[in-house]
Amino acid sequence: MGKIKFFTLLYFIVIVAKGQALGQAQFVDSIPLYKPIARTGIQFKLLPIVNKLQYVGDHPYDWNDGVMITAKGWQQYMNAGINLKWKQFELQIAPEFVAAQNLSFEGFSENLASVHWRDYYRFQNFIEQPEQYGIDQYTHLFLGQSFLKYSFKNITISLSTANQWWGPTKRNALILSNNAGGFPHLSITNKKPLQTKIGTFNYEFVWGLLKNGNWQPPQPNKTYRGIKLYVTKPDTSRMFQGMNVNYSPKWFKNLTVGISQSYVQYSNQVLGIMQFVPIKNIVHRLPNDLPNKPIILTAFNFNYQLPAANAVFYGEFGWNLNQTSFRNWVLQPDKGMGSVLGFSKMFTTTKKYYWEFLAEMTNLQLQTKAEQFTTGAPPSWYLGADVVQGYTHNGQLLGAGIGPGATSQTIELNWRKANNRIGLSVERRLHNNDFYVFSFTNSGDFRRWYVDFATTLKIDWTFGRWDIAPRLSYIQTNNYNWWLFQPQDIYFIPGLDKQQFIGQLNLRYHL
């Protein structure tokens, strides 16, 4: 905690040294203007200084926080940098720093029967998704939102460690989100939309390397009938390939549709130039004789705007099946499917403010009994039968932060005026229902759903060069980690329920 306090103090010293103080509220452009460097032709701008301070009272909650980790206690995040432009080149240096207390907390219960531990590791052995990131204070400096870009005509080539978000969703994205930190990658994209006779297109192709965190799961030496449950994961580098294409039809100007796909494989299994083509498998069967099968995720999305109603409908539908045929996909589209559906609407007033309503629901749990009770590696989202670190980077999911087998429903109402907002969100999150169904329903126990109910007050306000955004959440957790102790014959009794508050103070200073 000493390092966290030190960097917080250092942050404020830097700001005070700039001679700036809070004054009358006024709105400023969130994008700093470029300034020329004399006689060089180079233009530069200083990026805002970002500071986040978070406190979690009992056990981790939330996602989409990049390099920050799921941890109990205090956590500090800082980001600052510079952006330079020269002719067709653009360089941004924007490192990210994280320091977390990473306090211990109650995890998957020792009191659960050994058969449930066996089933727990049935999932943990095919993904790197730790309860806790080590046992010591977590302190890391990352390259963060840094990149080097070269633009030629309408093509931009980038070397980057910045985050990517694919698709129109707001809370959960199936393929790429900012739930994990950015990973080093090469990308090729268009600078401006491609104009054609049938509409406009945008594309992006990505090749990257994912980091194995080598984090230990809970009780790695646990055994079941004399057999060790945890299988140590090989520390072999993994390659990420992906493509994202969006199309706006000429005849439906308010509609955008798209397709995204990602491919994760151990680097030593990517052989031959053709395996570097980032379009692998839409609904086409992969060869059965592959020695190691990759993780392939494919998602279709849409975004439909209704300008007259100030509303937007959007959605994303994805499949995580490596081996299927077009015929089987048509006959049983719910097999291996994940989905996100959302809606937003603005309610204007005669004043200078307006109201905003947002709603989104995500479903990643397996839909068919054949999948729920399959033998071998579970076919859940983000797990890898052969790529056993799963769809992760440094132990955090690249896609939807709710995780494998989970669902979530979010509703949010905001009062907004220019850059300012006061809002209230309500969210329900069901944890890994694939594990719950497999481990508990055969015994007829239908009471242990592990569910979070979160209510969050959000404020975003601009004071001169400052953006201040506090958050306060109250979390009610029912049947924490599926734990329920029954010392009596009454069937319906409360499980292990927890309540906690989570606070966050976000500060952004525009230089």
DSSP 364-404: -S--SHHHHT-SSS---TT--SSSTT-SEETTEESS-TT-T
pLDDT number for residue 233:
93
pLDDT number for residue 292:
61
Q: Is the pLDDT of residue 241 over 60?
A: yes
Q: Say what the pTM is.
A: 0.89
The rounded percent of the chain whose pLDDT value lies above 70 is 89
pLDDT number for residue 31:
55
Q: Is the pLDDT of residue 113 over 50?
A: yes
Q: Which residues of 212-225 are buried (b: 16+ CB within 10 A; e: fewer)?
A: bbebbbbeeebeee
Q: Is the pLDDT of residue 507 over 60?
A: yes
Q: What is the average per-residue pLDDT within 343-366?
A: 95
pLDDT tens for each residue of 23-33: 333 333 445 67
Q: Is the pLDDT of residue 167 over 80?
A: yes
Q: Is the pLDDT of residue 162 over 80?
A: yes
d(CA 134, CA 142): 18
Instruction: Tell me the average pLDDT of the chain.
Output: 88
pLDDT number for residue 29:
41
Q: Is the pLDDT of residue 121 over 50?
A: yes
pLDDT number for residue 445:
72
| 395 closest CA partner among 131, 142, 186, 171 | 131
Q: What is the average per-residue pLDDT within 350-363?
A: 95
Domains of the chain plus CATH, in order, are 2-509 (2.40.160.130)
Sort strands 199-210 and 238-249 into parallel, antiparallel or unpaired.
Answer: antiparallel
Q: Is the pLDDT of residue 9 over 70?
A: no
Q: What is the average per-residue pLDDT within 333-349?
A: 93
- The DSSP code sequence of 214-267 is -PPPSSTT-EETTEE---PPP---EEEEEEEEEEEETT-TTEEEEEEEEEEEEG
Q: What is the average per-residue pLDDT within 243-266?
A: 94
Q: Is the pLDDT of residue 367 over 70?
A: yes
Q: What is the average per-residue pLDDT within 238-262?
A: 95
pLDDT number for residue 321:
75
pLDDT tens for each residue of 47-103: 999 999 999 999 998 889 999 999 999 999 999 999 999 999 999 999 999 999 999
Q: Please report which confidence band the pLDDT of residue 5 belongs to, taking 50, 70 and 90 as the band edges.
A: very low
d(CA 194, CA 419): 31
Q: Please report which confidence band the pLDDT of residue 442 belongs to, taking 50, 70 and 90 as the band edges.
A: confident
**Tokens 């200078």, residue located:** 352
pLDDT number for residue 272:
74
The three state secondary structure string of 427-492 is: EEEECCHHHHHHHHHHHCCCCCCCEEEEEEEEEEEEECCEEEEEEEEEEEEECHHHCCCCCCCCCC
